[in-house]
């Protein structure tokens, strides 16, 4: 990819619809380990659209609330912070992510389903890991492949064929992408997260999700393993197929056994089947 195309792509990222201020505030709250429920409520309460979406989700059949949820505070308690941030971010990015990504051989909704599967794996990872999983992991995993959405506009047949040739020669997909384009979907995803002014831990996890050993941190390990789970489920394989390197060190750092990984796959599939409709109506 030449310099002009990279410059165009950066402008494309800059031209992406801005993330609502309230979601940005929520992400900041997520990055603060001392945050309280009042901080979450404060970030949401002045955004009427967000409040309406949140109350709708909290009162949906999926939520299973025994009584009507009437306030933002009740909704946050009912859904949990992980879901509040995830639902709000997901609703915002879903429209872009359900579009087909022909350059990655991802049909309509496939990129979204892959991202949602990874997000659900991240949010349920605590049940099989020794390490504590950050509540915002759902949201970060949901956006880990957002770079594919931007890069797809720049991948013509020639570039796709060149990447494919390198893969046939034995290269991992992400390395082939970087070799041909001078960048890759993880780096571009990091650019998007930076453009949306997300916290540094979010940006780092998106940018390095194929290389968790570069700058190890819990969020990065979680997103790396969540992506693997989505691949094992066979969701959104596209041109990348199963052609990604898995880090033994990442699962070891998280304290996940091979049985735990398989259990997480089962949990994630069931959650995905329960959750898919939620973002369409939330």
Partner 1 sequence: MRHIVGVADYKVASDPGDMIVTHALGSCLGIAAYDPINKVGGLFHVMLPTATVNPDKALSNPFMFVDSGLPLFFRELYARGAEKKNIVVKIAGGAALRAKRDFFAIGKRNYMIACKLFSKNGIMIQGEDIGGGNSRTMYMELKTGRVWVASGGQETDL
Structure tokens given for 234: 């066979």
Minimum CB distance to partner 1, residue 221 (Å)? 14
In whole angstroms, what is the distance from residue 120 CA to residue 112 CA? Answer: 12
We find the least distance from the C-beta atom of residue 266 to partner 1, in angstroms, to be 4
Nearest to partner 1 of 88, 265 (CB atom) = 265
**Is the separation of the CB atoms in 110 and 101 below 8 Å?**
yes
Which CB sits closer to partner 1, 77 or 102?
102
Provide the minimum distance between the beta carbon of 239 and partner 1 in the complex, in angstroms, as a whole number.
10
Q: Are 193 and 206 in contact (CB under 8 A)?
A: yes
DSSP 219-234: HHHHHHHHHHHHHHTT
**Closest CB to partner 1 among 14 and 262?**
262
CB of 235 to partner 1, least distance (A): 7
Backbone φ/ψ region at 236: left (φ over 0), alpha (ψ -120 to 50), beta: left
Nearer to partner 1, 37 or 266 (CB): 266
Which residue's CB is nearer to partner 1, number 219 or number 251?
251
Minimum distance from residue 273 beta carbon to partner 1 (Å): 9
Nearer to partner 1, 185 or 231 (CB): 231
Handedness of CA 267, 273, 276, 277 (dihedral sign): negative
Q: In this structure, how many other beta carbons lie within 10 angstroms of the beta carbon of residue 209? A: 30
Please state the length of the chain. Answer: 282
- On the 0-12 / 13-18 / 19+ scale of CB atoms within 10 A, 17 is exposed
Binding positions for partner 1, rule: CB under 8 A:
172, 228, 231-235, 237, 241-246, 248, 251, 258-263, 265-267, 269-270
Q: How far is the CB of 257 from partner 1 (least distance, A)?
A: 9
Query: How far from the centroid of its chain's Cα atoms is residue 238's Cα?
Result: 17
Query: Rounded to an integer, what distance in angstroms lies between the CA atom of residue 258 and that of residue 11?
Result: 43
């Amino acid at each position: 990819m030449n310099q002009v195309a990279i410059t165009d792509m950066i402008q494309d990222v800059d031209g992406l619809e801005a993330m609502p201020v309230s979601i940005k505030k929520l992400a900041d709250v997520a990055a603060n380990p001392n945050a309280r429920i009042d901080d979450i409520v404060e970030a949401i309460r002045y955004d009427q659209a967000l409040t309406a979406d949140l109350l709708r989700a909290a009162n949906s059949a999926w939520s299973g609330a025994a009584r009507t949820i009437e306030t933002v505070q009740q909704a946050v308690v009912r859904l949990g912070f992980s879901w509040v941030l995830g639902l709000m971010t997901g609703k915002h990015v879903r429209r872009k992510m359900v579009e087909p990504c022909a350059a990655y051989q991802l049909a309509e909704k496939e990129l979204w389903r892959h991202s949602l599967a990874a997000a659900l794996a991240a949010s349920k990872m605590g049940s099989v890991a020794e390490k504590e999983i950050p509540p915002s992991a759902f949201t970060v995993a949901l956006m880990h492949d957002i770079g594919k959405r931007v890069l797809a506009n720049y991948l013509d047949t020639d570039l796709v064929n060149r990447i494919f040739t390198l893969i046939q020669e034995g290269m991992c997909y992400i390395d082939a992408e970087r070799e041909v384009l001078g960048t890759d979907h993880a780096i571009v995803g990091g650019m998007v997260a930076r453009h949306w002014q997300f916290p540094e831990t979010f940006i780092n996890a998106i940018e390095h999700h194929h290389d968790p050993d570069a700058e190890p941190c819990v969020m990065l390990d979680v997103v790396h393993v969540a992506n693997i789970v989505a691949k094992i489920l066979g969701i959104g394989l596209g041109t990348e197929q199963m052609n990604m390197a898995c880090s033994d060190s990442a699962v070891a750092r998280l304290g996940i056994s091979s049985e735990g990984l398989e259990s997480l796959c089962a949990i994630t599939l069931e959650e995905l089947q329960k959750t898919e409709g939620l973002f369409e109506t939330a």
